[in-house]
Every structure is written in structure tokens, then in C-alpha cells.
Chains A and B, each alone.
Chain A
Amino acid sequence: MTPLDYLLEPLQYDFMVRALVTTVFAAVVCAVLSCWLVLLGWSLMGDAVSHAVLPGVVIAYILGAPFALGAVVFGFLAVALIGVVRDTSRVKEDAAIGIVFTTLFAFGLVLVSVTPSQTDLNHIIFGNILGVSATDLIQIGVLAAVALVVLVLKRRDLTLYAFDPIHAHAIGLSPRRLGALLLGMLALTAVVALQVVGVILVVAMLIIPGATAYLLTDRSGRMLVIAPVVSAVCSVLGIYLSYWLDAASGGLVVVVQGVAFALVYLFSPRHGVLGRHLTASRRRAAAVG
């Protein structure tokens, strides 16, 4: 078997092609969003919203409504509840987040257990990338495209919001509206990604690519290119590995992303733990030589 066979053999199966295309969609849109989540310090919020959409998705399934609608409603509901608990009691924000999202997630699990369905709703929890149908693919593609277009068109405003919300306010923009936009996109993106890796691991795709890119560049514009490229490559690699190792695809997608982060953490020329020293000593050698 030549190396090319390793690449081509899985592509004989339609389900593998659909899996790869879906994964790339999800990886790209998650990675773009993750840049702002990492810069804003919203990782915990990303975790919370991506879990809290579960009951929304199940209720949407029961009512025959679009999954995205249910997800967005419950995404905002979760953020509102977190705000209420934090602001009107002596409970601090991290505890408020922990209480609200686990409760909503648990409620989602209860709904899953009592909802009769042809498609196994457990797939929402652990992801079912190999079982993506052509209809699923279209739905995911549309959602990913909408989220991606909005994020890319509004990228400068979102970066301003993350960097200096007071200046945004001072020039007449609404930081609150920009924050809400980001949350809405977070809920949409969670729906896209949960097909791939499941609700539990969505947060990995929403944090790791942005954090990896953040260690590689000092330019937000470049982060928005590096994060999706790294994420897409890692995700495709994860899917291939799952085919050849016959192991969990969602799990492998995240493991590969984590390994990529670890390599960058160590060897990034400017911000890597070892890379910093290597760059410095190479400079010294060049100066001496």
C-alpha cells in the first residue's frame, strides 16, 4: 500500500467524504470564532453555551423546528440566567456559569432519554460524524456559511470589541450589541460542531484553534487565517486516523488538535516555551558568527 492509498481509500465511501466535508466546515467556523473567544477570555462562556444548547436542540427536534433556532434561544437563555444569578445573588460568576450550564445540559439529557426518535439523539452528545446524511450536510453547510460570513464581515468590530470596548462605546458603537452578536454566532456554531464531535467536545474546537494561533502570531488578522487552517488540517487528520485505527472520530479530532497545540506551545518561535530560547540562542549564534 502506498501512502497515497492511505489518503484515497477512505474516499471511496460516500459517508467518509461527507464526514470530511462536514468536519472541515465545522473546524473552520469554530476556529474563526475561537480567536475572539480566546482574546476575550470567554472560554468558560463558550463551554457553557455549547452545553446549554442541548435542550434547545432536542425541543427543536420534537417540534420539528430548525435545530439552530432552538440552540440560539437556549444559548441566550443560558447567558441571561448566568447574568441574573451572578448579579442578584452573592454567588460569583464561575459558580453561576457552572450551575446554569450543567442544569440546562442535564435537562437536555433528560429530554433525550424520554424523546422517541428514529435518529439516535445520543449522537448529539458524542457526535456522529460518520453518520452525517446528505440533508444534514446541507443544513450544516448553510449554518456554517452564515456564521462565517457574519464573522468575517464584522471581524474588525469584533476585534475592537475584544480589545477596547470603551473606545467602541466612545465612537458610538454598541459593545452590548457586538457581544450579543458574538454569543448568537457561538450558539449557531455549537450546532454545527456538535454533529462532528458532540456537545461535550464542542468546546475543544471553540478554544484550541484560537489559542494555538494566538501563540503563533501578534496579528489578529493572521490569527483569523492560522486558526482555521490549523483546525481544518488537524480535523481531517483526526478523521483519517479514526478510519485507519477504527477509533472514535470525534475524540481523535480533538486529540490531534490538542497535540498540535502542545507542539506550538513548545516550539512557537516567539511565544513557545522552548521556541523562545531556541530563537534567542540562534540570534546570539548569528551575532557571534
Chain B
Amino acid sequence: MTAVEVENVVARYGDVLALDGVSLTVEPGRVTGLIGMNGSGKTTLFKAIMGMIRPDQGTVRLDGIDPAVARRRGRVGYVPQNEDVDWTFPVSVHDVVMMGRYGRQGFTRRPRAADHAAVAEALERVALTEYADRQIGRLSGGQRKRAFVARGIAQEAQILLLDEPFAGVDKRSEATIVGLLRELAADGRAVLVSTHDLHALPQLADEAVLLLRRVLFHGSVAEALRPANLARAFGLDVLEQEGAA
């Protein structure tokens, strides 16, 4: 079943058109790279998929069902951008991963044995077990991302959304995260990653989407990276035309 189905979504902020008729599907078992420059609508598209904003037009379905129901079932895991997290917040790595379990817990979110086991397993999977008691800001850039991925694993989310996971991450950690995301997709999860790091793309993604307020291209990574396609996605063809005129 298609994990994410976006159909003809239009989103406006006041007079600004952020998404202009975006249609997109994300399949389970695959990593999909979402490529676009700043202001291309990547974050708005994520918000629409997560139901944070109500699109002016169009529909979003997750796992073929209503997104609100899918969220309540814990299907959607989200790894936030660096600047959306307060890194001085007094929570440990373990606390953050445990937050992935809240949707499955009772009124006071008191953790049970199964929750502790799920958190331990998720930390093991991202190789952060020894850092479980660290305050979340006392991790390196790559470790921080892995902590949030572990939260999605503990949540048992089948759809993972990552917004710019490679920003502020060194090359070695980037390779670790790429390997981890490939494993998670191989388990059958749908992984959607927004990035403007084009170097990592061939190792990371099975397919790529080029976004500039609308979907310019959706297909193989190799084809997406062709200069003509990238030029359109990053608005360079417009500049060239203006330069010629």
C-alpha cells in the first residue's frame, strides 16, 4: 500500500503560494529524497503531510487512510530540523526516545516494561546505548539526529519524515545516518528525506523528487541529478534566461 499519497495540494501563506498543486506518492521499503532550494516548499509539504497545516486544496492520505487516524496509530515519525529543537532543554537521550512511546501509553504516560524494552532496542539500533543518560544537547550533530531516528523506531512508525537531517553533520556521521536509513527502509518503512546535500543522494535514496512549489521531477536519482533538472529545481534556468534577455 502506498505510504504517503499527496494529491494536488495547494498551500498559501497569505499572498505567498508555497505549494502549487503538488502530487506525490511515497512507497514503503524505499528512501525518497526530496530536493529543493530554500523556499521551494519542502517544509510546507512536510507540514501538509503531517497535518500541521490544512491545505487550501487537495488531499493527503497516509497508509491509504485519513492522516489524523494514521497519526493516532503512531504511523508517522518525524525528525525535526536542527533549528526547531531547543538543545538546552533538560531531557536526556533516553527521555527523548521514550517520547516515541507516548501514543501507546496510558493517561499519565507511565512507561511499562515493554516501553523500556522498545527504547533500549531503539538506542541499540542507532548505537547510542552508552549515551542514554546524556542531556540531548551534549551529543554531536550526527548523534542528535540518530537520537531522533531512535524515537521514530521506538514509536514503531512506518512512515519516517526527516527534514534536512544532514545539516550540521560531518561526513562520517552522514554515512552512518545514510546506512541507518537504508536499513530502516529495507525493513519495509517508507522514508522521506528532505535535503539539499546532493552528494549523499545516490547512496541515500532509491528515488528523488525535485520540488519548486510544484513537483518538477519524480524518478531515478541519476536522472534527477542531471544538470538540466537541477538547474530547473534551483531556479538557475530562470537566471540564465534573464541574463540572456
Contacts and interface: CB of A to CB of B under 8 A. Distances in A.
Contacts of B86: 39, 163
A214 B84 contact: no
B103 A172 contact: yes
B74 A172 contact: yes
Nearest to A172: B72
B108 A217 contact: no
Interface stretch (B90-98, B169-177, B192-200, B221-229): B90-98
A156 B52 contact: no
Interface stretch (B75-83, B180-188, B210-218): B75-83
Interface residues of A, number: 26
B108 A153 contact: yes
A169 B68 CA distance: 9
Given A153-B108, A172-B68, A167 B99 contact: yes
B23 interface: no
How many B residues touch the partner, as a band? 20 to 34
Contacts of B42: none
B51 A218 contact: no
A163 B137 CA distance: 12
A160 interface: yes
B135 interface: yes
Contact of A164 (B52, B99, B155): B99
Contact of A171 (B90, B91, B103, B135): B103
Nearest to B68: A172
B48 interface: no
B85 interface: yes
B96 to A, nearest CB: 8
B91 A159 contact: yes
Given A39-B90, A156-B102, A220 B50 contact: no
A217 B89 CA distance: 10
Given A159-B91, A164-B80, A153 B103 contact: no
Contacts of A223: 90
Contacts of B109: 156-157
B74 A162 contact: no
Contacts of B91: 159, 163, 219-220
A170 B92 contact: no
29 contacts: A39-B89, A39-B90, A153-B108, A155-B108, A156-B108, A156-B109, A163-B86, A163-B89, A164-B80, A164-B99, A166-B52, A167-B151, A169-B52, A170-B71, A170-B76, A170-B77, A170-B78, A171-B72, A171-B100, A172-B72, A172-B103, A173-B102, A214-B90, A217-B90, A218-B92, A219-B92, A219-B135, A220-B90, A220-B95
The 5 closest A-B pairs by CB, nearest first: A172-B72, A171-B103, A218-B135, A156-B109, A172-B71
Interface of B: 50-52, 68, 71-74, 76-78, 80, 84-86, 89-92, 95-96, 99-100, 102-103, 107-109, 135, 151, 155
Interface of A: 39, 153-157, 159-160, 162-164, 166-173, 214, 217-220, 222-223
